[in-house]
Amino acid sequence: MMKELLANPWFGPLVAALIAVPLSLLIHRIGGMVLERVTRSVPALHTMLLSIKLPAKVVLPLVALQLIWQAAPDDLRFVGNVRHLNGLLLIAAATWLAVGAVSGFAEGMVKQHPSDVRDNLEARRVLTQARVLARTANSVLLVAGGALMLMTFPGARQVGASLLASAGVIGIVAGLAAKPVFSNLIAGLQIALAQPIRLDDVLVVEGEWGRVEEINGTFVVLRIWDDRRLILPLTYFIEQPFQNWTRHDSQLLGSVFVFADYGMPLAPLRAEVERIVKAAPEWDGRFFNLRVTDATERTMQIRVLCTAASSALAFDLRCTVREGLIDFMQREYPQFLPKVRFDSESEPRAAAGAMEPR
């Protein structure tokens, strides 16, 4: 029995496999502990290392097994099938490892730039670049991994050769079909690099005010102020105009417009605006003023400017100022609220003229 076992051509490769797998796992454990200690001071690399810990535990034994199967005699029965299966598993595991490395490095970069600070412009820039570029790279890695797995099958290579023979027609059809996909892919790269928008930016798009909640590989999710979601393709932000209220910083200058009769004195209004703004917790202390910006045949337009640290605070501050001014005018100067004037003496003459026969 032992002689027959030793004489089996699979005995040597199997014994080598039984030794190589535990040895590779031991190397993985020791190497992982060393690398974790070394990279602890570098958050991006440390996070990447933690994210590839599990796929690396699969890749190392598969690499060891593939070396053993390749070293086995070619005339060994079923060795070709074993090599092919091990190769497929190795490609899949290597793709998993690469995707984990990209995602882990991106998350590590995000952790180095926390966004829960008052001035989070740099953090939002890094977050947008890391997330968008990581998703784009992972999409390319998954496609490449799937293509490599297909190319290991002879039938797939023959199909590929036949497709190349008719590349003219197929290329035109594929180009037309994949145009939206490639357009969004290129737009995603432009957004990640040029950054016309970032995560948590405040935008006005299609007449809607909201924050950028998500940027993925094909579209952007804008969270509207009333918790609705506006879904827009990536290409929209490359081809269409829109407003970005937090492009350079989160500080904003808010405006409030009210209308009053020409008899309204401006000095009390300026004093009241100063009192309201300085008492408002939303004001950041930078600037405020009151000016008459327009005059119509009936009323004058009064504009109040005031600053806040963010768009949300600016909106609340504008509401506070608007409510305070209206309340002040209703209480102190109700006679100067906007009104429609008419001449009482000319009214009977106009009525009489309308009644005369024509």
Q: What's this model's pTM, rounded to 2 decimal places?
A: 0.53
Q: Are residues 288 and 309 in the same domain?
A: yes
Q: Are residues 156 and 21 in the same domain?
A: yes
CATH of the domain at 201: 2.30.30.60
Domain membership flag for residue 166 = no
Number of domains in the chain: 3
Tell me, letter by letter, the H, E, C secondary structure of 172-234.
HHHHHHCHHHHHHHHHHHHHHHHCCCCCCCEEEECCEEEEEEEECCCEEEEEECCCCEEEEEC
- Quick one: tokens of 174? 């594929």
Q: Are residues 73 and 115 in the same domain?
A: yes
| Residue 252 dihedral angles phi and psi, to the nearest 5° | -135, 155
- Please check the confidence at residue 73 and state whether its pLDDT lies above 90: no
Alpha helix (H) residue ranges in the chain: 2-7, 11-38, 43-51, 53-71, 79-112, 121-151, 154-165, 167-177, 179-194, 236-239, 266-279, 311-332, 346-355
Average pLDDT, the chain: 81
Q: Mean of the pLDDT values across residues 29-48?
A: 86
Domain membership flag for residue 102 = yes
Q: Are residues 142 and 207 in the same domain?
A: no
- Please check the confidence at residue 170 and state whether its pLDDT lies above 50: no
Domain membership flag for residue 31 = yes
What pLDDT, on a 0 to 100 scale, did the predictor assign at position 226? 85
What pLDDT, on a 0 to 100 scale, did the predictor assign at position 187? 76
- Quick one: tokens of 120? 């989070």
Q: Are residues 103 and 148 in the same domain?
A: yes
Q: Mean of the pLDDT values across residues 171-180?
A: 50
| Confidence bin at 342 (pLDDT 50/70/90) | low
SS3 274: helix
Q: Are residues 155 and 209 in the same domain?
A: no
- Gap between the Cα atoms of 69 and 59, Å rounded: 15
Q: CA angle 245-251-256, nearest 5°?
A: 75
pLDDT digits (tens, 9 = 90+) for 132-169: 788 878 888 888 888 788 777 776 555 444 444 444 44
CATH of the domain at 327: 3.30.70.100
Choosing from 244, 261, 282, the residue where a domain stops is: 244
Domain membership flag for residue 177 = no
Q: Are residues 152 and 83 in the same domain?
A: yes
| Among the ranges given (82-96, 116-130, 166-180), the one the predictor scored with the smallest mean pLDDT | 166-180
Q: Are residues 223 and 329 in the same domain?
A: no
What pLDDT, on a 0 to 100 scale, did the predictor assign at position 288? 92
Residues of the domain holding 129: 12-161
What pLDDT, on a 0 to 100 scale, did the predictor assign at position 294? 92
Domain membership flag for residue 342 = no
Instruction: Tell the burial category of 217 from Cβ atoms under 10 Å away from its Cβ (0-12, 13-18, 19+).
Output: middle
| Confidence bin at 290 (pLDDT 50/70/90) | very high
| Confidence bin at 357 (pLDDT 50/70/90) | very low
Domain membership flag for residue 179 = no
Q: Are residues 108 and 18 in the same domain?
A: yes
Full DSSP string of 79-94: HHHHHHHHHHHHHHHH
* Distances from the Cα of 136 to the Cα of 103, 109, 111, 142, 222, angstroms: 11, 16, 20, 10, 20
Domain membership flag for residue 180 = no
Domain membership flag for residue 261 = yes
- Gap between the Cα atoms of 136 and 346, Å rounded: 74
Q: Are residues 148 and 92 in the same domain?
A: yes
Q: Are residues 280 and 259 in the same domain?
A: yes
Q: Are residues 146 and 23 in the same domain?
A: yes
pLDDT digits (tens, 9 = 90+) for 84-97: 898 899 999 999 99
| Among the ranges given (38-47, 159-168, 305-314), the one the predictor scored with the smallest mean pLDDT | 159-168
